[in-house]
Amino acid sequence: MRPEIKEYNIDWMIWSIIKTAGRTTRGSDKEFYAMLEYVPYFRGILDPIVREGEAGKQFLELVGEYMGNIVNAHDDGKKLAMTTFCFSPAILYAMDIMPVTLEAISTLGALMWRRGTYDYLDYCCEVGFTETSCSSQRGSLGAYLAGLGENIDMIVCDSAGVCDTNANAFAFTSAYLDKPFYQLNYPPELVTDRTTSYHREDYYGLIAFLEEQSGNKIDEDRLRDVLTELQKQDEILTDIEEMQSLVPNPMPILYNLFIYAGRFFFAGMDNYTRMLETMRDTVSANAAEKKSGLRSGKENLRSLFCYIDHFAVNLSLWDWLDEHGITQVGNILSKYYNADAPYLEGSREAGYTINTENLVSMIDTMAQMNARMPMVLSIRGPYDAPYMWFENSLMLAKVFSADCVVYNGTPGCRNTWGMIKPFARDMEKEGLPTYIMYGDAFDERVESWDATAERLEEFFRVRGLL
């Protein structure tokens, strides 16, 4: 790691950048664009976000608030829990614990910095965490292993049984930094009784752990507030998803990022609800005019990203798709399987239902909801088993009438790289052209974005999609 990097605290660094970025939008457009001249690289992310208008501004504030919470947690007498994107932070907020979500912070670094998060990625390998491990954690984990982040009080992950390298990153950290550790572990099936009760039991274990580590007892009213807010958020999401299935898709492409980033940051918090409301207004306005959400206003192609997006180097992926008139009808990160979701028609049992009647019903709700988080739901079993990755992706492709499927992940993603080839073959048999991207969503050194984009365009052209 470069010595100069050792001078900075990662959380504070990202926080101050985002906070400042948030302020830039307060002046006039003229002022804003004049200011952009002074941040030649950072404009690559700031400009597109701000161009999304109110929702973009709210998103910046959301991120700023999230990072602020981390930086100020200990001063405010709150504990910090290191966790993973596919773990719903709602329970932490309900217990007044602040989440430090590695993948979210890795993403921010990968998006914002010219040198990405290379120093942190590599530091993990320096201390012996295998370089074949997933870059989504390494991108920020390196900072915490090097003592360049806020001091973590506890570690919770929910990827055991779903993704080894993810879960292993947290187990490694707990052993390396000697921090208390709890894992939610998922069996290779979804809706059987034994598994439903496993979800529940495991979640009670989590709550016991959180109570012990934070010294806060779980509070019924607080949990109810959070779940009621979640209910609202799910309803808005359902509305948006209904409209996403229209042709053309009225949703601005960057909203995909806003939806899941916001959910990973602030599930069950009202600031996220406000952003969703703004977004719903825009989408329905577009829908009313039968207008595509793309900047060009013209939709040439509908793509389903069956796994994750590409985060390295600003917002290049979304810019590129937008330029080419390709809309994104979602990816594995942006669907949460509330039983009322439009895509669960016919398989409602796969979803969760929010029940705020009493503490037991609410904890049960949390457990079943968390069991349906991105990746947790569909990567846990063989991809061709009921409710798993293939069935899910195919269902989404149909409901949102996608023309093609694109896989993007990281070389560290053992669980999908172990099955993506047959998965793609089966998709093609269903008549859906399927493309496998070989880059790394968080590390441009694996394949430069230009090379990735060139291959992507080649696929769309050669397969006659564009």
Partner 1 sequence: MITAGCDIGSLTSKGVIMENGRIKAAAVISSTSNPQSSAEKVMNLAVEKAGMAMDDIDVCVGTGYGRDRIPFVQDTASEIVCHGTGARWLVPGAMTVIDIGGQDCKVIRLDAGGQVEKFITNDKCASGTGRFLEVMARVLGVSLDELGTFSAGTMSPITFASTCTVWAQADVIRHLNDGHPLEDIGAGINSAMANRVSMLVSGSKPRPEICMTGGVSKNRGVVQTLEKLLGSRIHLPRRADPQLAGAIGAALLAQKNGRGGAN
Partner 2 sequence: MKHATTAGPIQRAEESVQNWKQNGGRVVGYTCSFLPVEVLSAANVLPARLRGTGVSQADIGDTYFGPYICSYPKCILQRAGSGQFSYLDGVIIIPGCDSMRRLDECWRKAGEDFQGIVPDFFFHFGVPHKAADHSMAWFSSEIERLIRSLEEHFGVSIGEDDLRKAITLYNKGREMIARLNNFRKASVNTLSGEEAFALSVAGTLMPRDEYNQYLGEYMDEVSSRKPGLYNGKTRFMLVGSVSDDLQLISMAESLGGVVAAETLCFGQRHEGDLIGENEEPVSAMVRHYLDESLCPRMLGGYQARLKSLKEKIEEMEIDGVIFQNIRFCDLHGSENAIFERDLEAMGIPCVRIEREYGALADTGRLRMRLEAFMERMT
Partner 3 sequence: MISAGCDVGSLTAKGLLLNESGIVASEVIPVSGRPARAALEVMNLVLKSAGLSMKDITHLVGTGYGRKRIDFAHSIESEITCHGMGAWWGDHSIRTIIDIGGQDAKAIRVNHEGEVERYVYNDKCASGTGRFLEIMAEALEVPLDGMASEEEKSTRDVHISSQCVIFAESEVISLVNEGVPVPDIIKGLHGAMAARATALARSIGIEERITFSGGVARNGGVLRGLEESLGTSLVRTGSNPQLNGALGGALIGARKCGVHVKPPRMMKEEHGTVQAGH
The whole-angstrom separation of Cα 407 and Cα 285 is: 31
Q: Please give the size of the binding site for partner 2, defined by CB under 8 A.
A: 50
Residue 463 binds: one of partner 3, partner 2, partner 1, none (C-beta under 5 to 8 A by kind): partner 3
- How near is the Cβ of 102 to partner 2 at its closest, in Å? 15
User: Judged by CB under 8 A, how many residues of this single chain contact partner 1?
Assistant: 20
Contacts of 299 (CB under 8 A, 6+ apart): 247, 248, 249, 292, 325, 327
Closer to partner 3 by CB, 56 or 409: give it: 409
Q: Cis omega (within 30 of 0) on the bond before 188?
A: no
Q: At 340, phi and psi to the nearest 5?
A: -90, -5
Distance of alpha carbon 110 from alpha carbon 100, whole angstroms: 16
Q: 357, exposed or middle or buried, with CB in 10 Å at 0-12, 13-18, 19+?
A: exposed
Q: Least distance to partner 2 from the beta carbon of 181, Å?
A: 5
Smallest separation (angstroms) from partner 1 to the CB of 406: 21
Q: How many helices (H) and strands (E) does the chain have?
A: 19, 8
Nearer to partner 3, 357 or 450 (CB): 450
Q: Which of 91, 167, 237, 312 binds partner 2 (CB under 8 A)?
A: 167
* Interaction of residue 41 with partner 3, rule CB under 8 A: no
462 binds, options partner 2, partner 1, partner 3, none, Cβ within 5 to 8 A by partner type? partner 3
Per-residue x/- track, 12-41, partner 1 (CB under 8 A): ------------------------------
Ranges within 412-431 binding partner 2 (CB under 8 A): 412-422, 425
Residue 56's Cβ-side half-sphere holds a number of Cα atoms within 13 Å equal to 17
Cβ contact 246:329 at 8 Å: no
Write out the H or E segment, with its range, that includes residue 82.
Answer: strand 79-83
Which one of partner 1, partner 2, partner 3, none interacts with residue 451, CB within 5 to 8 A by kind? partner 1
Local structure of 338: helix, strand or coil: strand
| CA contacts within 13 A on the Cβ side of 338 | 18
Q: Is residue 131 within the footprint of partner 1 (CB under 8 A)?
A: yes
Can you tell me which residue has the tokens 């900047």?
295
What character string, x for contact with partner 3 (CB under 8 A) and - otherwise, covers 355-394?
----------------------------------------
Given partner 1, partner 2, partner 3, none, residue 181, with its beta carbon under 5 to 8 Å by kind, binds partner 2
Evaluate whether 47 touches 118 at the Cβ level (below 8 Å): no
Q: Which is nearer to partner 3, 15 or 383 (CB)?
A: 383
In 10 A of CB 164, how many CB atoms? 17
Q: Beta 326-328 vs 181-185: how paired, if at all?
A: unpaired
x-or-dash string of contact with partner 3, 410-449, rule CB under 8 A: -x---------x---x--x-------x-x-------xx--
Q: How far is Cα 354 from Cα 197, in angstroms, rounded to an integer?
A: 17
Contacts with partner 3 by CB under 8 A lie at 411, 421, 425, 428, 436, 438, 446-447, 455, 458, 461-463
Contacts with partner 1 by CB under 8 A lie at 1-3, 115, 118, 122-123, 125-128, 131, 411, 444-448, 450-451
